């Protein structure tokens, strides 16, 4: 396209973009008006008189052609020009930054690597380098995680482990301080992956500084935008902490550049094969897959997910991801409040009989003021039916409220339940029943704000109970509570085999942030579907509502060998407690780091009411794979809007690292010295960042150029950037005038208009 523009308009498009238009032989206004009037009279005299026997449209066309022809001739006679800034040879500087990271060694679909393409472009005999060096004094840099001056492109090696675009541009800007700079040429694939570049704000600030100094960046994109036949595991994530025996769902983002219909994912636990799963993919797109597995034993485990590589995969090094999961053999406690003896209570407790990790503490009201307690640790625990204070309630991790009316609780207790979820970070599960939800009078209580569905405030249920068949909702198919089978089993078939249940109160309005996990389809009206199990985040915790009152039918009305009911409730109670906030929390911002890469450790400390203790004394110790214990100072921080603590550690060993954190009260002798302890783990190993997101990031390069006033070109069109740089306004530039009257387009217009007039006249029989 640029060649066409240059042929028709004599100059390249870049020249026009930075020019000012004018006339060297501008005619007085009165003369222009006179010429225009004379042209109009001439055209009318030739074709507008009634003596000329022509149809109306033909008259108008001939007059328009004649006027346009005269206008083009007059335009040329006025000698149109453009005035363009142009740098004086060797009066200005230009910085050339070349990516020297490992991703530049990729060959994509070419016979030579990206680095070789860049070196060829910057070789002394290339047209690009010759034109650039004739006009500018060049300052050449190579960069990866930092930038440094080099004498020639021959010093590039492609050994950089990271690509920090912000640092490279900052270095060029600092080195150019006080020099007459026309701009910066940036040769890269755009795969910025350093910590600084992961923050959009850092790069944005750098680009703002460049624009403020008038330093445009001209980006040259190296490498393919889409790498054919490349299968990449872009990201893998899983819960950092789970209970022993719980299934774990790892989410894997797969980018496939091939034409295959599926990718095999191999999962290993501590280098031992655990399972294999085929994932359907679409070529040229990204696919989110979920790999479900059950850890073999308690402890901290390393899990590697690897996509099976084909022989024609150009980047096999980006086919794997590692995650760390802390499988804990803990005993979190769930409090279950039930207002009446019913089958649901008994079967739920029976389902948890063999559960070793989750403790189900239950209170069943057998009569007014009398309670049947199970699972309590002390004789005085829950003697009044419900915890008396926030501190007592906050000792539990989750709360289940069954068929019990709202008046069972005092207003302070209802408010404590709201704080249990929002501040403590616990989980609330509300069950259906004749005295539950709206029918239990919760519509005008603090629990109405908590629950993920809108309740009716009149205290009545909506008609008679109706029979429904449960089924996973579209967004709940991968939820732990929707999984009745072993990993890899047919989830939907498992639910089809479950008996119908009843819903005493139909609540169909979910709140905006809620997620429907299970739906219920009416047995008699197949098209009537209502929510059955709904979840929503609330404050630091979450709330759930299960509208059925008789899930016990999933035990009593199936074959005795079926364990679906037990699986549902064991998975459910484990899910309620697994991500619940603890009094002392410690976490690293990632689970995998490269050697010598800063590790950020964050901690949060709460008292018995889970109010943040901002002045707590923290001791953090990192234990390395070789057994060294290294203390890490922790400082108060409000990063992310949460009061906590932050520390930094730079690992120098590969392998699994463990963080042990102890929080103590500052000086209060009335309280125990130790508030609590927490642990976290992370891996250190070959990061190989350059193999991931290895395709040319064209959007980022265009953004860098646009935000600084520069331009983007692929490496095959890099020569065009020389004209862009040459015509940059600055201290070392002058304004040059270019004639436009002799552009080929002008001659072609004159010939075309004259020929058109002759053709129309000939067709209409005019001389």
Per-residue pLDDT of 529-581, as tens digits, reads: 999 999 999 999 999 999 999 999 999 998 888 888 999 999 999 999 988 99
Any idea what DSSP says for residue 88? Answer: P
Any idea what DSSP says for residue 358? Answer: -
Rounded distance, CA 656 to CA 677, Å? 20
**Residues of the chain with pLDDT > 90: what percent?**
39
pLDDT (0 to 100) of residue 259 = 66
Tell which wins on pLDDT, 54 or 382: 382
pLDDT (0 to 100) of residue 440 = 92
Confidence of residue 365 (pLDDT cuts 50, 70, 90): very high
* Integer CA distances (angstroms), 134 to 89, 128, 181, 473, in order: 7, 10, 15, 67
pLDDT (0 to 100) of residue 764 = 65
Does residue 96 contact residue 135 with C-beta atoms inside 8 Å? no
Average pLDDT over residues 674-687: 88
pLDDT (0 to 100) of residue 226 = 78
pLDDT of residue 197 exceeding 50: no
pLDDT (0 to 100) of residue 2 = 65
pLDDT (0 to 100) of residue 463 = 47
Average pLDDT over residues 734-760: 79
Average pLDDT over residues 302-314: 83
- Reported pTM: 0.75
If we measure between CA atoms, which residue out of 237, 212, 61 comes closest to residue 756? Answer: 61
**CA-based torsion, 629, 632, 633, 636: positive or negative:** negative
Confidence of residue 154 (pLDDT cuts 50, 70, 90): confident
Which residues are within 8 A (CB) of 151 and not within 5 positions of it... i.e. 6 or more apart? 140
* Integer CA distances (angstroms), 387 to 17, 334, 382, 405, 571, in order: 74, 13, 6, 17, 26
Which residues are within 8 A (CB) of 365 and not within 5 positions of it... i.e. 6 or more apart? 338, 339, 340, 371, 372, 385, 404, 408
Q: What is the pLDDT of residues 269-287, one digit of tens each?
A: 999 999 898 888 887 788 8
pLDDT (0 to 100) of residue 309 = 75
Per residue, the 3-state secondary structure of 396-436, as one string, reads CCEEEECCCCHHHCCHHHHHHHHHHHHCCCCEEEEECCCCC
SS3 62: helix
Task: Please report the DSSP string for 109-156 in residue order.
Answer: TSSS-HHHHHHHHTSTTSHHHHHHHHHEEEEEEEESSSEEE-SSGGG-
Rounded distance, CA 347 to CA 654, Å? 49
Does residue 503 contact residue 432 with C-beta atoms inside 8 Å? yes
Of 60-69, 133-142, 155-164, 641-650, give the range with the top mean pLDDT: 133-142
Confidence of residue 462 (pLDDT cuts 50, 70, 90): very low
Confidence of residue 762 (pLDDT cuts 50, 70, 90): confident
Tell which wins on pLDDT, 345 or 490: 345
pLDDT (0 to 100) of residue 40 = 66
If we measure between CA atoms, which residue out of 103, 375, 360, 326 comes closest to residue 224? Answer: 103
pLDDT (0 to 100) of residue 83 = 76
Per residue, the 3-state secondary structure of 262-301, as one string, reads EEEEEEEECCEEEEEEEEECCCCEEEEEEEEECCCCCEEE
Rounded distance, CA 324 to CA 92, Å? 53
pLDDT (0 to 100) of residue 622 = 95
Rg (CA), the chain: 37
Tell which wins on pLDDT, 257 or 596: 596
pLDDT of residue 135 exceeding 60: yes
pLDDT (0 to 100) of residue 746 = 82
Rounded to the nearest 5°, which phi and psi values hold at 743? -65, 140
Average predicted confidence (pLDDT) for the chain: 85
pLDDT (0 to 100) of residue 363 = 94
Average pLDDT over residues 48-54: 55
Which of 52-56, 70-74, 306-310, 760-764 is the least confident region? 52-56
Average pLDDT over residues 756-763: 75
Which residues are within 8 A (CB) of 287 and not within 5 positions of it... i.e. 6 or more apart? 253, 254, 255, 256, 279, 280, 281
């Amino acid at each position: 396209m640029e060649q066409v523009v240059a042929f028709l308009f004599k100059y390249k498009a870049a020249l026009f973009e930075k020019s000012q238009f004018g006339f060297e032989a501008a005619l007085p206004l009165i003369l222009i008006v006179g010429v225009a009037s004379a042209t109009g009279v001439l055209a009318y005299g030739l074709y507008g008189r009634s003596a000329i026997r022509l149809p109306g449209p033909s008259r108008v066309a001939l007059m328009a052609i004649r006027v346009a022809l005269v206008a083009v001739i007059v335009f040329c006679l006025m000698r149109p020009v453009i005035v363009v800034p142009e740098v004086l040879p060797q009066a200005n500087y230009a910085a050339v930054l070349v990516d020297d990271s490992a991703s530049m060694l990729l060959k994509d679909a070419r016979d030579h690597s990206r680095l070789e393409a860049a070196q060829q472009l910057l070789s002394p005999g290339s047209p690009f380098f010759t034109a650039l060096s004739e006009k500018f004094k060049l300052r050449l840099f190579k960069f990866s995680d930092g930038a440094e001056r080099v004498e020639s492109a021959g010093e590039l090696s492609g050994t950089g482990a990271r690509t920090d675009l912000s640092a490279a541009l900052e270095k060029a800007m600092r080195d150019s301080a006080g020099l007459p700079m026309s701009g910066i040429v940036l040769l890269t694939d755009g795969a910025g992956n350093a910590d600084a570049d992961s923050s959009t704000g850092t790069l944005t600030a750098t680009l703002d500084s460049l624009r403020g100094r008038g330093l445009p960046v001209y980006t040259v994109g190296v490498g393919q935008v889409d790498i054919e036949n490349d299968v990449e595991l872009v990201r893998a994530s899983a819960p950092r902490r789970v209970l022993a025996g719980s299934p774990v769902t790892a989410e894997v983002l797969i980018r496939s550049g091939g034409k295959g219909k599926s990718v095999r994912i191999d999962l290993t636990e501590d280098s031992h094969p655990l399972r294999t799963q085929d994932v359907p993919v679409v070529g040229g797109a990204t696919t989110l897959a979920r790999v479900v597995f059950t850890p073999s034993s308690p402890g901290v485990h390393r899990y590697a997910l690897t996509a099976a590589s084909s022989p024609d995969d150009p980047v096999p090094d980006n086919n794997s991801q590692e995650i760390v999961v802390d499988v804990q053999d803990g005993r979190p406690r769930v409090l279950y409040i039930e207002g009446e003896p019913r089958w649901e209570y008994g079967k739920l407790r029976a389902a948890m009989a063999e559960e070793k990790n989750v403790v189900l503490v239950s209170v069943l009201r057998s009569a007014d003021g009398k309670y049947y307690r199970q699972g309590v640790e002390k004789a005085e625990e829950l003697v009044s039916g419900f915890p008396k204070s926030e501190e007592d309630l906050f000792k539990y991790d989750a709360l289940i409220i069954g068929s019990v009316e709202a008046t069972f609780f005092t207003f302070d207790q209802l408010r404590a339940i709201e704080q249990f979820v929002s501040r403590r970070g616990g989980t609330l599960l509300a069950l259906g029943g004749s005295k539950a939800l709206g029918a239990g009078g919760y519509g005008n209580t603090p629990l109405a704000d908590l629950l993920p569905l809108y309740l009716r405030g009149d205290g009545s249920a909506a008609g008679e109970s109706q029979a429904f068949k449960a089924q996973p909702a579209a967004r709940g198919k991968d939820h732990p509570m929707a999984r009745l089978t072993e990993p890899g089993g047919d989830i939907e078939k498992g639910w089809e085999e479950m008996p119908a249940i009843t819903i005493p109160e139909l609540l169909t309005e979910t709140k905006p942030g809620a997620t429907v996990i299970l739906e219920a389809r009416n047995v008699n009206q197949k098209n009537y579907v209502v929510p059955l199990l709904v979840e929503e985040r609330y404050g630091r915790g979450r709330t759930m509502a299960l509208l059925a009152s008789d899930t016990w039918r999933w035990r009593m009305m199936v074959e005795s060998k079926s364990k679906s009911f037990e699986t549902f409730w064991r998975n459910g109670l484990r899910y309620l407690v697994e991500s619940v906030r603890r009094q002392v929390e410690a976490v690293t911002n990632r689970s995998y780091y490269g050697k010598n890469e800063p590790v950020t450790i964050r901690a949060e400390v709460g008292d018995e009411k889970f109010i943040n203790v901002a002045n707590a004394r923290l001791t953090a110790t990192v234990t390395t794979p070789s057994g060294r214990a290294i203390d890490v100072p922790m400082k108060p921080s409000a990063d992310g809007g949460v009061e906590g603590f932050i520390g930094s550690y730079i690992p120098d060993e590969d392998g699994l690292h463990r963080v042990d954190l102890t929080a103590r009260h500052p000086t209060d002798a009335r309280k125990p010295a130790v508030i609590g302890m927490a642990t976290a783990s992370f891996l250190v190993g070959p990061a190989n960042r350059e193999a991931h997101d290895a395709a040319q990031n064209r959007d980022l390069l265009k953004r860098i150029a646009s935000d600084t006033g520069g331009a983007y070109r692929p490496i095959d069109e890099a020569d065009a950037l020389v004209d862009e740089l040459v015509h940059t306004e600055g201290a070392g530039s002058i304004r040059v005038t270019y004639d436009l009257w002799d552009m080929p387009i002008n001659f072609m217009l004159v010939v075309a208009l004259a020929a058109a007039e002759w053709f129309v006249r000939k067709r209409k029989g005019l001389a």
